[in-house]
């Protein structure tokens, strides 16, 4: 098993970013490339120290699940949980996950940093190349670009990834010929919310490299490996950067969430085997678009608002406009999180999140079809997305006409 990233050094808490680093975004990234610059004192590669949690009343859910992982202090870290003492996803995947979680801690520090506005003048990629935005791509924000670089460097360092396809790059990046995995990612979803300190998230999906394509030219095999159907996902996850930083993941045996303990740098199992309620009472959508919606969707929302749907109570609305946050709430409370226009990406967003929702007992749909069974034909393919409780998704689909075809290019 390849050694994990060198993030075990115990360093005393220090400002996340030294002010002197702020003049240059590339220096800023450089500082994040060096684990020792982080105040994440220790990670799960050493046994977790839980003293900092005593007295915080961690729930029984974390404790009893941790016992399954063999953790002797009653808590399980993400890396304990996926290792041999827990659900044992295999050494290669453990190494990859340890690098992904490391990258996400760096992004968590970045989005919370008082200095990240210094990236505002950054327009190109940190390595100096440009991120070409095609006509169907949104202009990336500086934090999107830096997050993308952070993920890419972690995947490279893992030695386990053949190709990374990112929402921020026009084309997938071939990393190493013998990497067993393919990673698709939206490194920083909801970044338009950053300036207002509203939650954001990282989304990722993991496939196996298709060895039968190994003989093809790099560009071709990079594309085809990245266009695998969602039914072939072996793992997926999101990391929510909010009042808590939360790593929610599935390897095909349930959906589990781990909360970052900032005092130790560990993701601690806090939500084992999340089960989305079969019916919720919340709908989540940008309903300023009501007049651009098709008749079916208007009727559905009108009905559930008034308690005239299949469930005889009035629904409430919640919309953060940050997909990871809206989905996370939906997983816990039930209901439906939706974006009915062709906006969210099948490869980077819809597939990984549908995998997590299905593993939690819910459904992911484009309004007509199961998301995971839609074969991607383009890397940046967009589609309507409805995620949520199985009964809510069934009811919504029964209205037939719920996909918004009018998509005028909203500015806000």
Ligand X SMILES: O=P(O)(O)OC[C@H]1O[C@](O)(COP(=O)(O)O)[C@@H](O)[C@@H]1O
Chain contacts with ligand X (rule: CB under 6 A): 138, 189-192, 286, 321-323, 326, 339, 341, 343, 410
Cβ closest to ligand X, residue 41 vs residue 142? 142
Q: What's phi and psi for 77, nearest 5 deg?
A: -90, 165
Q: Which of 285, 306, 308, 307 shows the shortest CA–CA distance to 297? A: 285
Burial class (CB in 10 A: 0-12, 13-18, 19+), 13: exposed
- Nearest distance, CB of residue 238 and ligand X, angstroms: 11
Rounded Cα distance, 127 and 123, in Å: 11
CB burial string 138-176: b at 16+ within 10 A, e below:
eebbbbbbbbbbbbbbbbbbbbbbbbbbbbbbeebbbbe
| Cβ atoms 107, 299 nearer than 8 A | no
Cβ closest to ligand X, residue 277 vs residue 384? 384
- Nearest distance, CB of residue 88 and ligand X, angstroms: 33
Cβ closest to ligand X, residue 349 vs residue 397? 349
Query: Which strands form 316-317's sheet, in the order they lie side by side?
Result: 316-317, 282-284, 336-345, 382-388, 363-365
Cβ closest to ligand X, residue 272 vs residue 327? 327
- Nearest distance, CB of residue 144 and ligand X, angstroms: 8
Cβ closest to ligand X, residue 120 vs residue 307? 120
- Nearest distance, CB of residue 321 and ligand X, angstroms: 5
Cβ closest to ligand X, residue 19 vs residue 120? 120
CA angle 143, 149, 113 (to 5 degrees): 40
- Nearest distance, CB of residue 121 and ligand X, angstroms: 20
Residue number, nearest CB to ligand X: 286
- Nearest distance, CB of residue 190 and ligand X, angstroms: 4
- Nearest distance, CB of residue 317 and ligand X, angstroms: 13
Rounded Cα distance, 213 and 168, in Å: 24
Q: Which amino acids are annotated catalytic? A: 138, 144, 167-168, 186, 188-189, 349
Rounded Cα distance, 383 and 93, in Å: 29
Cβ closest to ligand X, residue 190 vs residue 388? 190
| Cβ atoms 182, 209 nearer than 8 A | yes
| Cβ atoms 232, 270 nearer than 8 A | no
| Cβ atoms 363, 357 nearer than 8 A | yes
> In this structure, what token pair is assigned to residue 50?
């839980």
DSSP category for residue 312: S
CB burial string 42-71: b at 16+ within 10 A, e below:
bbbeeebebeebeeeebeeebeebbeebeb
- Nearest distance, CB of residue 320 and ligand X, angstroms: 8
Query: Which strands form 181-189's sheet, in the order they lie side by side?
Result: 173-174, 161-166, 181-189, 200-208, 235-241, 245-250, 255-261, 266-271
């Amino acid at each position: 098993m390849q050694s994990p990233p060198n993030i075990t050094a115990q360093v005393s808490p220090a400002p996340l970013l030294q002010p002197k680093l702020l003049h240059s975004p590339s220096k800023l990234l450089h500082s994040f490339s060096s684990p020792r610059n982080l105040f994440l004192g220790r990670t799960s590669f050493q046994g977790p120290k839980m003293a900092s949690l005593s007295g915080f009343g961690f729930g029984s859910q974390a404790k009893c699940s941790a016992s399954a992982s063999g953790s002797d202090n009653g808590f399980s870290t993400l890396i304990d949980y996926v290792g041999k003492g827990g659900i044992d996803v295999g050494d290669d995947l453990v190494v990859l996950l340890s690098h992904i979680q490391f990258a996400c801690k760096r992004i968590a520090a970045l989005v919370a940093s008082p200095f990240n506005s210094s990236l505002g003048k950054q327009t190109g990629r940190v390595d100096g190349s440009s991120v070409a935005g095609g006509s169907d791509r949104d202009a990336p924000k500086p934090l999107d670009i830096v997050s993308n670089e952070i993920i890419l460097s972690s995947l490279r360092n893992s030695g386990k990834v053949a190709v990374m396809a990112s929402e921020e790059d026009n084309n997938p990046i071939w990393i190493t010929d013998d990497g067993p995995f393919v990673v698709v990612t939206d490194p920083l979803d909801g970044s338009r919310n950053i300036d207002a300190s509203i939650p954001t998230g990282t989304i990722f999906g993991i496939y196996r490299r298709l060895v039968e394509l190994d003989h093809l030219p790099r560009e071709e095999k990079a594309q085809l490996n990245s266009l695998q159907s969602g039914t072939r996902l072996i793992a997926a996850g999101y990391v929510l950067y909010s009042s808590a930083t939360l790593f929610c993941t599935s390897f095909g045996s349930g959906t589990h969430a781990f909360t970052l303990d900032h005092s130790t740098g560990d993701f601690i199992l806090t939500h084992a085997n999340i089960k989305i309620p079969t019916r919720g009472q919340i709908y989540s959508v940008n309903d300023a678009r009501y007049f651009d919606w098709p008749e079916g969707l208007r009727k559905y929302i009108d009905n559930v608002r008034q308690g005239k749907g299949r469930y005889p109570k009035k629904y409430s609305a919640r919309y953060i406009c940050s997909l990871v946050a809206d989905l996370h709430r939906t997983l816990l409370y039930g209901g439906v999180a939706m974006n009915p226009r062709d906006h969210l990406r099948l490869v980077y967003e819809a597939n990984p999140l549908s995998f997590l929702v299905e593993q939690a007992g819910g459904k992911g749909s484009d309004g007509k079809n199961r998301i995971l069974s839609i074969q991607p034909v383009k890397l940046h393919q967009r589609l309507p997305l409805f995620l949520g409780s199985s009964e809510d998704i069934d009811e919504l689909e029964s209205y037939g006409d719920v996909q918004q075809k009018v998509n005028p290019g909203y500015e806000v």
